Structure formats: structure tokens, C-alpha cells
Amino acid sequence: MKSLFTDRQKQLLENLNITNWFDLITHLPSRYEDRTTIVKINSADLGQNILILGKIIRTEITYRGKRNLNVFVQDEDENLIILRFINFYPNQLKQFVEGMNILAYGLVRKYLTNLEMIHPEVQVSENLIFTLPTNYTPIYPTTSGLGQKNLSKLIQKALAYTKEKKFLNFIDEFLNKDKKINFISALDYIHNPTKEFSLNEINQKITPYHERVKYAEVLAQQLYLKISKADRVSEKAFSYKDINSDFKSRILEKIPFVLTKSQKLVIEEIENNLNNSQPMYRILQGDVGSGKTIVAIIASVKILSKNHQVALMVPTEILAKQHYLKIKNIFDGSKIRASLLTGSIKGKEREDVLRKISSGETQFIIGTHALFQDSVDFKQLGLCIIDEQHRFGVKQRMDLMKRGKQEFMPHQLMMSATPIPRTLSMTYFADLEVSSISEMPKNRIPITTKLIRETRRDELIELLKLELHKGNQIYWVCPLVEESEKIKLVDAKNTFEGLKSTLPEFNVQLIHGRMKEIEKSEIMQNFLDGKINLLVATTVIEVGVDVPNATVMVIEHSERLGLSQLHQLRGRVGRGDKKSMCIFLYSDNLSINAKDRLRTIYENTDGFIIAENDLKIRGPGELIGTRQSGIPSLKIANLIDDEDIVHQVVKDSANMINSQYNDVIKYTDLWFGHKNFLRS
């Protein structure tokens, strides 16, 4: 990097997670534009980016809330378009001289009777001498201080450096696939696309060059995960073959409902894993309210019957307290003791909890991030259960696994209420086992979903009054904590003040993520105890406690949230024996994506269908928390659209691990290691 880039460039590139030449050449365009052809103004399609050529006939300064510079341009057919610049600089005004020729590229829209472009890219010349590109123009994800032109120059510099040093020649031998297009040629085309393919094909990333790089990228990720799994298999865990069946029967009798067939099957899968001396690394997926926690508790009986310890880590204190009370009740009357460890537990109480964990006096420990602090030493930790696994980083999970001075590695069970689509199971979760709870408890009453336009807010308030007078409780979720100048959305603080004024006879309270943990816990406890009638919240309650008396969930600006998040929020109601409803408030002028999202969530209650659609729209990063998980993310491949490539990679990667292990290490180091190989 030192020889290629200045310190300032290096700093800016790091903002884009680019730390070496390979990161730079695999920093691929998000889209492409056609700037090779000049379009007549009267042929312009509204809403399209086009290139126009004309003559400046005059300029004027107007005020549309802010100072605007309008440049009037006429082409050779005397058709007019206005180039509009908002908050312009004096130098911009000097550049636009009447009679000069101008080349402008931008989005065409209509304002009143005129066509206009807002902040187009322009070239001004006295003569009609403009050089048009012969290739499509790549548009890259960039960062403040690093414009498209400079970033493109750096990428071209890195490409030339890579070709000169012949660093990537080994890849084509390693891949041994479609030798007509080698890897560096494929990257070269993606950064410098000729008109061999249509703009649509290139933007859809469906050329043979894109396919080549997609295959290479998915293969790197798959090999990385397979190596991770192989490394973990070499570790030793305690084998829990024997179990006290009487103890398990007594625990099952304490559960006030009948387990579903799916829950029983999953318990058997987990118990079979615990029989082995290799650490279990399993994810338990199930829809909101499907009964994942009780499955984990029953499976933990194997560990507890050996007097070994189980740790359950959850993302919030209030959730930890609820689990603690539930688990304490289930094991009441047995020799198993439960302890709660959260950040708010201090002083002598904390010292007592830590002493009991270290001595083994406590066998079931429930807590938050506090569980992996240096002061926590387990006597013999046999099982780690991670609830809402995507909320915790990979380092946090590993820190918990290594607590104490024990001989064996603990087994690990991660839980997620976001079901994993099949293509994710084959890729991001290739290194672990997956269990699925595929049916809901039979006593769950379906939640009614309603879509209501925000202009009908007054009608909605009347509906909520009826619910409150019945003694039911309500969540009202807003996307922002407070009013923002940048984003015009209804915020939680103003909504709280408005509802408090509109519903004076009821206790309306506010909760959001900026509050201290102790404040949030107190408010949620009061809501759980029925002391609060209506709780205005941000999405902080997405992972929350079970409040059986909460029957209505209202979500402001539902069009702004992802499908899985909407589904998670909807699952906060319907936890009791009353009919419940979730109301999605939406704004006018919805985008096509927003309409599709709302239609999907309205028509479906199946978390797997919702997760598949969310994956198509948002990609896997947000869906499963790849930044937290430590799993390398994909830059170009799409796990839904490129399922054929995923299937091929799954087959090929198994053979490569067995026959080309040293090359596999070199290859994954190149994509994800960024250390040894990249220093050459």
C-alpha cells in the first residue's frame, strides 16, 4: 500500500474497508452508466440519466427555499433544458458563460412546463471539442473526500500493478474453470466494460466476466467456512452420553404445555450432538414465539445432570431477568441452582454470584454481555446458549466459550428468530449444523395484520381507545428517537408527547435506545406488570420480553423497515390468550420496493417466506449480522440470483479441501486474510 498510495488516500480507502491492492481491485462498481451517446433533449425519457449537448443561452438566480442557479441550455434543434444547481459556489456561476457549449450528464425530470437536471456533471468549452468515453462508466461506492474520478484512478493503478507483478496468475490454475476468461481479465472488464454487452446485462451483473468473479468469491467464502469448521472439529468437548432420565421427566412435567413434534425432533438433534466429544456448533432457528428457549432448556438437562454448567447469554437485561425467573421456576425443587449476571448487578451481590459460578454452586447462569467479562470464571462450562446470535460479535461468543480454566471446550447452541433461507444455510452457515422449529404451538392465536395510511391517524386513535378501555396494552413503534432535519419521519419523542396529550386518562410512557440500561429495564418491567397502558418505543423492543396483555402493535413508517424487522416487531404481540393485531402505518408515494415489502408482510406470517424475500431485497449482511458474526461478506454474488453458482461451489469446494489444501489456504488468505500473501 505504501508504494501505491499516499497516507491520505490510505486513510480514505480504509473508510471503505479497503486495506490493500486486492481489496481495491475487488471494490466493484455498484452500477454503470452509458455516457457514450448524446441524446436529443426532446427524446429524453423522464427519470433517466442521459448525456445532452447544447449551448448556454442565459443564467439566472432564483429562490426555491434556497438560492438556486439555473443554467438555460438549448440544443441544435432549439429544445430547452434547465440545469439547476442548489447552494452553488461563485466559481460555478463564472463557468457558465452565455454562448459557450456545454456537455451535461444527469437525471432528467419535469418541473412545471420545463425539463431540468439537478446538479448534473458538466463540461464547458468554447469549441465543440468534447471527448466522449467509448466504454460504459462504472459508478463505485465511495466515501467523503474520495470522488468517483480519484477512486477510479486508484483502482486502475492497482489493476496495472497486479498485472505487472502477475500476483493472480495462480488463481486460474487453482480454479481450473472456464479458461477462456482468466480471473484478472474478468476483473479488468468489470472495471472497464466495453459495449460487448448491453448496459442492462452489465448492471444486472450477468455477463460471463461477472460470473467468473462471482464463482471465485463464493468459493473463497465457502472454503473459509470449511477451514473454520475443520479447525473447530480438532477441539475436544465433554461427551454427555449418559443422562438422568428421571431428572428430565421431572423437568418436562414442570412445563405447562405440550411440546410440538418439531420441538421434540430438534431436542433429539441437539442431544445427539451433545453425545459427541467434538464441540457442538449448532444454530436453532424458529419463528417468533415458536418455543426455542424451552427447547434449549430441555436440551441443557444433559449437561446439568453431570453437574456441569450452562450459560445463556441474551442481548438485554430485561430479557435476561425474564429468562432467569422462568428457568428458576422450572428447576425449582431440584438440585439445580440458577444465577443472574447483568451489568447492573454490583457490589457484594455481584461478588456472591461470581463466587457461586467459580465454585460450581450455580449450574445455570443467565446474563447479558457481563458473562464474558474477565472476572467470570466457570468451574466447568458445558454448554453456551446464545439468544439472538446476530446481536453478538464472534469475539464475544468466543470469549464466553473460553471463560474459566476448564479442560474441555463447551458446546455452543445459537438461537435466531430470523429463519435462515436455504442458500444462506449452504453458504454463511456451511460451518455449522442447523435445526429448525417448523411449527408454532397449537394454542397461539393468529395475529391480525392491518395496513393503514398515516392520514387515517385519527381513526386509529379511536380504535386504540377501545382496546385500552378493555384493559389491553399497546406498543407504538417509531423509527427515530427525535426529530431530524435530514429525514422527515415521525419521531418517538413527539409521538409520545402527542399521545400523552390525546390519551390523558391512560399511562403513556417512552422507551428508546439512548436511555440507560437501568431506565429501560424499569420501564419494560412496569409495562410487563401492567402499570403502563401504551408504550411508545423505537425498535429497541424488537428483541423484548413477553407481555401477554399487549394486544396491539402500531409501527410508524413501516415502509422504512426491513421485512424481518417488521416480522420480529409483529411477534411482540399475540403472546397471551387474547386476539391481537399489528398495524402498519405507511406514507403516501411509496417506492416499488416499499410496496413489495408491505404486500409481503401483509400476506405472509411464515417467517421463512419473509426471510427469503428480505434476502432478495436487503442481502444477507443485515439479515444475519455478518459484521458481528465474523463471516466474510460477498461483494458481487447474490445468494438468491446466483443459486446455481452456490450449488456448484458447494460441490467443488469439498474436493479442493481434500486435494489442494495448501492452495486453499493461499486462496482464502488472498480474499480474507490480508496478511502474509498480500505483503509479497
H or E, element range at 283:
strand 281-286
Which mean pLDDT values do the consecutive 10-residue runs of the chain (680 residues) have?
73 87 91 92 88 94 85 93 88 88 93 90 87 92 90 92 84 72 92 93 92 90 79 80 79 84 94 90 84 92 92 86 90 92 89 93 91 84 81 51 69 82 63 80 84 91 94 90 49 88 94 81 88 89 76 91 85 86 88 85 85 69 48 72 82 78 81 50
What is the structure's pLDDT at 311?
A: 93
What is the structure's pLDDT at 422?
A: 64
Confidence (pTM):
0.68
Longest distance between any two alpha carbons in the chain, whole Å: 95
Give bridge partners of residue 399 from the DSSP assignment.
none
DSSP per residue over 553-603, as a string?
Answer: EEETTGGGS-HHHHHHHHTTS--SSS-EEEEEEE-SS--HHHHHHHHHHHH
289 dihedral zone (left: phi>0; alpha: psi -120 to 50; beta): left
Asked whether 19 and 1 are in contact (CB, 8 A), the reply is yes
What is the structure's pLDDT at 483?
A: 47
Q: Give SS3 for 643.
A: helix
Q: Which residues contact 463 (CB under 8 A, 6 or more apart)?
A: none
Are β-strands 309-313 and 364-367 bridged in parallel, bridged antiparallel, or unpaired? parallel
Domains belonging to the chain, first-starting first, are: 1-30+148-234+645-680 (no CATH), 37-132 (2.40.50.140), 245-437 (3.40.50.300), 447-604 (3.40.50.300)
Give bridge partners of residue 72 from the DSSP assignment.
58, 82
Q: Give SS3 for 528.
A: helix
Tell me the C-alpha to C-alpha distance, in Å, between residue 507 and each of 72, 159, 461, 462, 469. Answer: 59, 63, 15, 16, 12
Q: Give SS3 for 74.
A: strand
Closest to 303 in 3D by CA, of 365, 368, 260:
365
